[in-house]
Structure 1
């Protein structure tokens, strides 16, 4: 699954959530989340991206290039 890293960051920041906060809520490491937001992870597992979408309260297609 190809995530839209900059979109994830924009939504997270709009919700006044830190990477540390997202880390605690998703169980994913800050390093992983940071790389995800910078677009360094181009093929993420659907379960991981779904956890991010759930915690950001957005639909999965909004933060991925999937339909």
Structure 2
């Protein structure tokens, strides 16, 4: 899947969630999450994107880009 980093950041901040809190909820390294939000990670495993979407209480389509 192609994550939409800026969308992830917008949704996370709208929920007043820190990057550390997202890390704790997902088990995904904070550095990886930060790089993803900055658009430095262009492809990510489907299960990671779903895990992030679950933690943010959104559908995966809300945080991915169409290819």
* Aligned mates of 2:28, 2:61 — CA distance in 1: 20
Runs of 4+ in 1 over 3 A off after TM superposition: none
Aligned residue runs from structure 1 range 21-32, under 5 A:
21-32=21-32
What residue number does 2:6 align with? 6
* Aligned mates of 1:37, 1:65 — CA distance in 2: 13
What runs of 5+ residues in structure 2 fail to find an aligned partner? none
- Matched residue count: 67
1:51 equivalenced with 2:59 (yes/no):
no
What runs of 5+ residues in structure 1 fail to find an aligned partner? none
Kindly report the root-mean-square deviation, in angstroms, between the aligned alpha carbons of the 2 structures.
1.2
Q: What TM-score, normalized to structure 1?
A: 0.96
What residue number does 2:18 align with? 18
